[in-house]
Chains A and B, each alone.
Chain A
Amino acid sequence: MRREAPQKLSDYGPLFFPAMMLIVFFVVPFATMIAVSFFQRQQGGFYVPAFQFANYERFLSLFFANVLGFSLMLAVTVAICCVLLAVPFTYLLTRMTRKVQIVWLVALLSVLSLSEVIIGFAWSTLFSRTAGITNLLVMAGIMSEAKALLPSFGAVLTGMVYQAFPYTVLVLYPALVRLDPTLTEAARTLGASPIKAFFTVVVPALRNTITATLIMVFIFALGSYLLPQLLGRPQHWTLSVLITDQAIYQSNMPFAAAMAVFLVLVTLGLVALTVLAGRKGEAA
């Protein structure tokens, strides 16, 4: 049976249920959210249909500019840290035996699937005064007394790198597995040290993959909605935290929706960039 175009209407049958579900429960909600972003808020958490740009005009405030600037800066920092840590790690991982690889992949998947609530709880425990890492340092005699390391920017950054690192490795993994091993072998035969071969042969060959990964991890980090809240101070809140806060605690759905639409536009712009980078990579 060859792959063929649908002949009769009934050939479309299998498509009916998935298409209906995705349209009703993804496309329609998305459209609802865009509509609500133009609605007018009423006291008590409700909103009435309207067509106004007031929710978008609030973006023009200094406060919002600061939040946006901080969110982008934080996501970029997380993406750079993760890629710096993950590229050599993934490269070495793909050179290991299959069995070792599987153990690491299972561990990475387990961390990746953890909820932000759990990651936030785990790191806030680790950074706390009573149960934190400083207690170990006190026991080792390095510090004189235990202290809390949060809330702080460092805590937010650590938590987010922890969350995004397994994702970064899994994004890099397929590209690095397919990397031709003869490339490094050739460099080694010509007398390059393994580290030199890595930086002069592997990294340049992966330039496009690394760019695409940076953008994907950036988007992933932009979506972090709890860690800045659990590990940082209010000035460390990101756009995602603010959206959650407006929607749930301030009950200002129209403004939350407007911010979400804005976040989608930023994300889509970046996805377009990724695709473009990928195309260029294939052409080269």
Chain B
Amino acid sequence: MTGALSKVYFFLIGLFLALPMIVVAGVSVNAKQTLAFPPKGFSLSWYGEIFLNPEWRNALFASLTLAILSAALAVAIALPLAWFLWRRIAPWANIFQLLGIAPFTLPPVITALGLLTFWATTGFYGQPWTAVVSHAIFFVTLPLVTLSLGFTAIDRSLVEAAATMGADDKTIFRTVVLPLILPYIVSGYAFAFVLSLNEYIVAYMTVGFTMETLPIKIFNALRYGYTPTMASVTILFVATAAIIFSLVARFGDLPKLLGAMSSDDT
């Protein structure tokens, strides 16, 4: 009885999560430029449009470049910080951990506005690279959290053994720590990448008038009327996110990354 009840409950939640995507997927295959559901006719041309129409293609490239670079910068900031906090006893350095988590915890509009006033004051407002730095700071929380988790999972006796054998800090990092931490670097990068790809407000406030990322392009298109391309881009985004997170789950321990202890260390 309760088993059936929980199945119904899971079905309803699943339906709630999937319904907008089902409708959007339906709209994306309309034959003509109408937003009809159920779709009138069937055509995949709106998916081709993303790559063929120069406006959408440029937005796609801008978004990909931004996500690739900003996620890399976020990891470059998070890795030495997480390593230092794990390697050294320096309680005051925890303030940087806090600073790394703050941008993501505060309402996003605050980080966006802070960066907007900063770039405007320093005179760099509108430069494409400011979006990379802005996103890296905004999303540094994700690699920082996954890496901190990864470092706590390292058995310190391994590192100690290497040190007893005469390895210095650099050698230990390269031969022992790095291989153990690599899955967490990858998942931290993946989280930052997907979120950067989808991010709107920070990108809009920093480079919104000079560069169009895909979310900005969709928002601008929304104001001038709907096209099915928006629907096909949406489906592309959902599929990308689902594929990347599935890969993270396939090669890493997703429940553990999300804060659950894995069964073998409880």
Q: Among the listed stretches A27-35, A56-64, A200-208, which one makes contact with chain B, having 4 or more residues with CB under 8 Å of it?
A: A27-35
Per-position contact with B for A246-279: 1 when CB-CB < 8 Å, else 0? 0110000100110010011001000100000000
Interface residue A132 (Cβ < 8 Å from any Cβ of B) = yes
Interface residue B52 (Cβ < 8 Å from any Cβ of A) = no
Interface residue B172 (Cβ < 8 Å from any Cβ of A) = yes
Interface residue A67 (Cβ < 8 Å from any Cβ of B) = no
Give B contacts to A, CB under 8 Å: 2, 6, 9-10, 13-14, 16-17, 19-21, 23-24, 26-27, 34-38, 76-78, 80-81, 83-84, 86-90, 93, 96, 99-100, 102-103, 105-111, 113-118, 120-121, 133-134, 136-137, 140, 156, 159-160, 162-163, 169, 172, 194-195, 198-201, 204-205, 208, 215-216, 218-219, 222, 226, 230-231, 234, 237-238, 241-242, 245-246, 249, 254-255, 258-261, 263
Nearest-Cβ distance from residue B178 to partner chain A, whole angstroms: 13
Which residues from chain A contact B16 at a C-beta distance below 8 Å?
162, 165
Kindly state the separation between the CA atoms of A257 and B159 in the bound complex, as whole angstroms: 48
10 interchain pairs (CB within 8 A)? A1-B159, A18-B84, A26-B102, A117-B215, A121-B218, A125-B37, A128-B35, A132-B23, A230-B222, A271-B105
In contact, A243 and B259 (Cβ under 8 angstroms): no
- Candidates B35, B238, B258; contact of A131 at CB < 8 Å: B35
Q: Which residue of A lies closest to B237 (CB)?
A: A118
Nearest-Cβ distance from residue A193 to partner chain B, whole angstroms: 8
Interface residue A240 (Cβ < 8 Å from any Cβ of B) = yes
Q: Which residue of A lies closest to B35 (CB)?
A: A131
Kindly state the separation between the CA atoms of A244 and B102 in the bound complex, as whole angstroms: 20
Kindly state the separation between the CA atoms of A256 and B205 in the bound complex, as whole angstroms: 12
Interface residue A219 (Cβ < 8 Å from any Cβ of B) = yes
- Candidates B9, B137, B201, B234; contact of A121 at CB < 8 Å: B234
In contact, B218 and A102 (Cβ under 8 angstroms): no
Kindly state the separation between the CA atoms of A1 and B258 in the bound complex, as whole angstroms: 29
- Candidates B83, B199, B231, B246; contact of A115 at CB < 8 Å: B199
Nearest-Cβ distance from residue B257 to partner chain A, whole angstroms: 9
In contact, A122 and B255 (Cβ under 8 angstroms): no
Known: A3-B87, A25-B133, A32-B121. A267 touches B230 (CB 8 A): no
User: For window 1-47 of chain A, which residues contact chain B by CB distance below 8 Å?
Assistant: 1-6, 11-12, 14-15, 17-19, 21-23, 25-30, 32-33, 36
Known: A123-B20, A128-B35, A131-B27. A114 touches B80 (CB 8 A): no
Nearest-Cβ distance from residue A100 to partner chain B, whole angstroms: 9
In contact, B23 and A88 (Cβ under 8 angstroms): no
Nearest-Cβ distance from residue B228 to partner chain A, whole angstroms: 10
Known: A3-B89, A5-B90. A117 touches B219 (CB 8 A): yes
Interface residue A98 (Cβ < 8 Å from any Cβ of B) = yes
Nearest-Cβ distance from residue A116 to partner chain B, whole angstroms: 6
Which residues from chain A contact B37 at a C-beta distance below 8 Å?
125, 130-132, 135
Interface residue A210 (Cβ < 8 Å from any Cβ of B) = no
What would 12 more interface pairs be, CB under 8 Å, given A89-B13, A253-B120?
A1-B159, A22-B100, A25-B137, A30-B114, A85-B13, A92-B9, A110-B238, A120-B222, A122-B234, A178-B260, A223-B107, A243-B109
Nearest-Cβ distance from residue A80 to partner chain B, whole angstroms: 17
Q: Which residue of B lies closest to A33 (CB)?
A: B114
Which residues from chain A contact B20 at a C-beta distance below 8 Å?
119, 122-123, 125-126, 162
In contact, B245 and A110 (Cβ under 8 angstroms): yes
Nearest-Cβ distance from residue A40 to partner chain B, whole angstroms: 14
Nearest-Cβ distance from residue A37 to partner chain B, whole angstroms: 9
Which residues from chain A contact B156 at a C-beta distance below 8 Å?
1-3
User: For window 104-118 of chain A, which residues contact chain B by CB distance below 8 Å?
Assistant: 105-111, 113-118
Known: A223-B108, A226-B200. A22 touches B137 (CB 8 A): yes
Interface residue A50 (Cβ < 8 Å from any Cβ of B) = no
Most chain B Cβ neighbours within 10 Å, of A107, A195, A256: A107
Kindly state the separation between the CA atoms of A131 and B21 in the bound complex, as whole angstroms: 12
In contact, A110 and B215 (Cβ under 8 angstroms): no
Q: Which residue of A lies closest to B238 (CB)?
A: A110
Per-position contact with B for A159-173: 1 when CB-CB < 8 Å, else 0? 000100110001001
Interface residue A133 (Cβ < 8 Å from any Cβ of B) = yes
Nearest-Cβ distance from residue A249 to partner chain B, whole angstroms: 11
In contact, B241 and A113 (Cβ under 8 angstroms): yes
